[in-house]
Chains A and B, each alone.
Chain A
Amino acid sequence: SQQGEEDPQALSIQEGENATMNCSYKTSINNLQWYRQNSGRGLVHLILIRSNEREKHSGRLRVTLDTSKKSSSLLITASRAADTASYFCATRGGGYQKVTFGTGTKLQVIP
């Protein structure tokens, strides 16, 4: 079953604007990851945030994690047309527990 839900389901912004996507999950986690998927292609790992971390940055990406609210957000700053893709959060418990994916947000950046 789906672990996380993301909102919005779809987001359309102008190039240069910031894009924020939110992810909520249901059970306790070991880490949370964000992935990007271009249409019909494989997954690209963007960033991993551990359960004891609250915020993480990578280039134009900023991820926050609030374990008390069981939620995370992904912020893409100064968006580019090439950022157009679907973005998924994925959560994982401890050990070999499977990674389960959120419902995804489809981002469109208009040039």
Chain B
Amino acid sequence: GAVVSQHPSWVICKSGTSVKIECRSLDFQATTMFWYRQFPKQSLMLMATSNEGSKATYEQGVEKDKFLINHASLTLSTLTVTSAHPEDSSFYICSVQGGLLVGNTEAFFGQGTRLTVV
């Protein structure tokens, strides 16, 4: 299956600063990647769909100006949390999911990034 590398695995930042999280698909060209957020003791909620070469699609309630997504190549998508606040502290996970061309495949997830805003 696809190998998805996410970096960093954890980060602590000061309130008001920005944090960039990288998601790399190491052996799979991903035109689409997905970003999820998971608050403590909760399930994973889809934040946005990252589309290579075009704008990301955000889920309802997710601020696109706060969570900037860039998908500049088939192997890299980045999520930047701008002007982070303590309520943005969460576990962020990216995913690569096969589409029609690669058949009915599972989703592959990065290791996740634990963001703590102090």
Q: A69 contacts the other chain (Cβ, under 8 Å)?
A: no
Min CB–CB distance A107 → chain B (angstroms):
14
Asked if B26 is an interface residue, CB under 8 A from chain A, the answer is no
B43 touches A2 (CB 8 A): yes
Chain B interface, number of residues (Cβ within 8 angstroms): 27
User: In the assembly, what is the distance between CA of A43 and CA of B4, in Å?
Assistant: 12
**A45 vs B43: C-alpha distance when bound (angstroms):** 15
A94 CA / B100 CA spacing, docked (Å): 8
A75–B46 alpha-carbon span in the complex (Å): 26
A40-B114, A48-B106, A90-B107 as given contacts; A99 in contact with B100, CB under 8 Å = no
Given the known inter-chain contacts A95-B99, A99-B97, please indicate yes or no for A42 contacting B110, CB distance below 8 A. yes
Residues of A in contact with B (beta carbons under 8 Å apart):
1-2, 30-31, 33, 35, 40-43, 45, 48, 50, 88, 90, 92, 94-96, 98-104
Interface residues of B (CB under 8 A from A): 1, 32, 34, 36, 42-46, 49, 60, 91, 93, 95, 97, 99-100, 104-112, 114
